[in-house]
A and B are shown apart, each in its own frame.
Chain A
Amino acid sequence: MLELKHIYKTFNAGTINEKRALIDVSLALEDGDFCTVIGGNGAGKSTIMNAIAGVWPVDSGSIIIDGQDVSGLSEHKRAVYLGRVFQDPMTGTAGDMQIDENMALADRRGKRRTLRWGVTSKERMEYKEKLKILDLGLEDRLTAKVGLLSGGQRQALTLLMATLQKPKILLLDEHTAALDPKTAEKVLSTTEKIVARDHLTTLMVTHNMRDAIAHGNRLIMMNEGQIILDIRGEKKKSLTVEDLLHQFEKVSGKEFSNDQAILG
């Protein structure tokens, strides 16, 4: 479903701030795979998400979604294939617009935008129904401005918006990192629900090892712009945080240095 072939990306090449963010990254996700991505700060987790989303072009390599090479497509054209949820709850929605207007924007992802109405009353009824899965009572606040919602509510809404048009790939970039533990738990379980219901191919970045182990059928670990671990199937099911730390030390030859990830 998703295939990355030898992706390279260097930021500020040739300057003192040169950062080799992705080095020969290759990855293949099967249809319906739910893959979690962990790694320390600056390991390249978010970079890989941005590369897939087309925030900027990669230096070399190809990105293939459902058999089509999208590496030459700009961000908004690639959006046809992708549902995205970001770390910052403010990023995924338009705060000054209503819940239904936000959903209608997402519902038209990949379609031609015309001079027809931005939201129809029939769509409003649909959205009301679809909001129920979030279990946040948002179905009764359809015309409220999204800016009035809490971070958790906005994040749950963004998740729903990302999946209104079934995406080929769902990209979750630390989408619970800015939430309190209880809200994060709820957003994660909603994620599980929607991913399972729609059988979505998902890539989820997290810095919480427990979450990375608990969710999905595959786990990759990144370090210094490379994928250093790829665990799937039965091995993933029996994985523990200690295993992961141990493996990290073995592969990278140093200790895992992200306190947050260890404690998480």
Chain B
Amino acid sequence: MLAAYFSSLSPVALWNAMPGGLAQGLIWGIMALGVYLTFRILNFADMTCDGSFALGGCVCAMMIIRGVNPFVALLIAFVCGVIAGLVTGILHTVMGIPDILAGILTQIALYSINLNIMGKANQAIPVGTHQMPFTSNITMLGQTITLTFIFDAAIIGILYWFLGTEIGSAVRATGINAHMSSAQGINTKLMKVVALAVSNGMIAVSGAMISQYQGFADVKMGQGSIVIGLAAVIIGEVLAEAILGKRLNFILRLTFTVIGGIVYYFVYVLVLWLKFPADDMKLLTAIVVALFLAVPNYREHRKNSFRGLARRNAKAARAAQNKEAE
């Protein structure tokens, strides 16, 4: 039976699936950079992104079938994402709703909004009549990959520049120490809103690209995207620290966040190739994220554990006893 299973796996099929994995990984990398901005820089677990990712996809699909240029559609998706981020920001800073809840409220609201935008739950973009820059069409995949690569590089560059500016520094300081930031005259509420807006704008762009890639938008396309974004961020961090160690600088951190997205999609492709049921992918993703999140904790624990100390002390005592017995 095992032999039959292995003989049913075709290495050529895996090889052929890799470019698609790379393209999707690069697109999700943009989403991961958005998650990085809130989760790591701002220290804010933003649940809006499931909604803003689908928002980007829905807006982009509707624009394209109405004949809008696909790049303009991306830009409009970005603006819509920014507005979604603003809403979460205002719910949190002005109305005093805790961060996770503020994000969930916007996310739920966006579900209805996305349904309204499309008028139905799923909207196909007829590939024959609409040329799209981020298509999964196998003959055009090389172009899609090149284009997403350029987009990723540009977004990393812009993000690096932004976080180095006065406003960007203020955003970082807000995430690290809000108390100090206020004392230095930083409007921490405004900085949170700014970061949430930029982050969700990026996430919406990623959703818009995915809708072009898969040729349709779905109100549920964002479901669980926060987990995939987190997976990319965390895989990227663990890899970067393992490979670069102390040489890790900020621009490499951002780069590795995108690489984390690519690795995630390679694993995704691999697992599907191994005939793992697609329905269980979200379960698998959750397990992977949980394990990777546990790594730093586990490492710390291994260095500093009561049980470890007790074991070492007991061992030493036994050795001393044995010596005495001799």
B165, A118: Cβ atoms under 8 Å? yes
User: Of the 9-residue stretches A100-108, A191-199, A252-260, which lies at the interface with chain B?
Assistant: A100-108
Distance of A172 from chain B, by nearest CB (Å): 12
User: Of the 9-residue stretches B182-190, B261-269, B276-284, which lies at the interface with chain A?
Assistant: B182-190
In the A-B complex, the 8 residue pairs with the closest CB atoms: A79-B185, A118-B169, A113-B166, A94-B176, A109-B185, A115-B165, A94-B177, A75-B182
Not counting A86-B183, A94-B172, A119-B169, a sample of 15 additional A-B residue pairs whose C-beta atoms are within 8 angstroms of each other reads A75-B183, A76-B188, A82-B183, A91-B180, A93-B177, A94-B176, A97-B173, A105-B173, A108-B166, A110-B185, A113-B166, A113-B186, A114-B166, A115-B167, A118-B164
Is the contact region of chain A dominated by helix, strand, or loop, or is it mixed?
Answer: loop
Q: Does B80 contact A (CB under 8 A)?
A: no
Distance of B304 from chain A, by nearest CB (Å): 18
| Residues in B whose Cβ lies below 8 Å from that of A94 | 172-173, 176-177, 180-181
A93, B180: Cβ atoms under 8 Å? yes
Q: Does A95 contact B (CB under 8 A)?
A: yes
List B residues at the A interface (Cβ < 8 Å).
Answer: 162, 164-170, 172-173, 176-177, 179-188
Category for how many chain A residues contact B: 20 to 34
Q: Given A94-B177, A105-B170, are A76 and B164 also a contact pair (CB < 8 Å)?
A: no
Tell me how many residue pairs across A and B have CB atoms closer than 8 Å: 81
B186, A76: Cβ atoms under 8 Å? yes
| Residues in B whose Cβ lies below 8 Å from that of A97 | 169, 172-173, 176
| Residues in A whose Cβ lies below 8 Å from that of B170 | 105, 113
Distance of A104 from chain B, by nearest CB (Å): 7
A114, B185: Cβ atoms under 8 Å? no
List A residues at the B interface (Cβ < 8 Å).
Answer: 53, 75-77, 79-80, 82, 84, 86, 90-97, 101, 104-106, 108-110, 113-119, 161
Distance of A249 from chain B, by nearest CB (Å): 37
Could you pull out 6 A-B pairs where Cβ atoms are within 8 angstroms? Answer: A77-B185, A105-B169, A113-B169, A114-B165, A116-B166, A118-B165
| Residues in B whose Cβ lies below 8 Å from that of A91 | 177, 179-180
Residue from the list A76, A90, A117 in contact with B166, Cβ < 8 A: A117
A76, B165: Cβ atoms under 8 Å? no
Distance of A211 from chain B, by nearest CB (Å): 23
B169, A104: Cβ atoms under 8 Å? yes
Q: Given A76-B187, A97-B172, are A117 and B165 also a contact pair (CB < 8 Å)?
A: yes
Q: Given A94-B172, A94-B173, A97-B176, are A84 and B165 also a contact pair (CB < 8 Å)?
A: no
B167, A113: Cβ atoms under 8 Å? yes
Distance of B263 from chain A, by nearest CB (Å): 25
A105, B165: Cβ atoms under 8 Å? no
- What residue of chain B has the Cβ atom nearest to residue A109's Cβ? B185
Residue from the list A104, A114, A161 in contact with B167, Cβ < 8 A: A114
Q: Given A113-B166, A118-B168, are A105 and B176 also a contact pair (CB < 8 Å)?
A: no
CA distance A91 to B162 in the complex (A): 25
Distance of B296 from chain A, by nearest CB (Å): 15
| Residues in A whose Cβ lies below 8 Å from that of B182 | 75-76, 79
Distance of A120 from chain B, by nearest CB (Å): 10
Q: Given A94-B176, A95-B176, are A115 and B166 also a contact pair (CB < 8 Å)?
A: yes
CA distance A91 to B179 in the complex (A): 7
| Residues in A whose Cβ lies below 8 Å from that of B181 | 76, 94, 105
CA distance A116 to B167 in the complex (A): 8
B184, A105: Cβ atoms under 8 Å? yes
Distance of A173 from chain B, by nearest CB (Å): 11
| Residues in B whose Cβ lies below 8 Å from that of A104 | 166, 169
CA distance A86 to B182 in the complex (A): 13
CA distance A116 to B170 in the complex (A): 12
CA distance A110 to B173 in the complex (A): 16
CA distance A12 to B177 in the complex (A): 26
| Residues in B whose Cβ lies below 8 Å from that of A96 | 172, 176
Distance of B177 from chain A, by nearest CB (Å): 5
CA distance A203 to B48 in the complex (A): 44
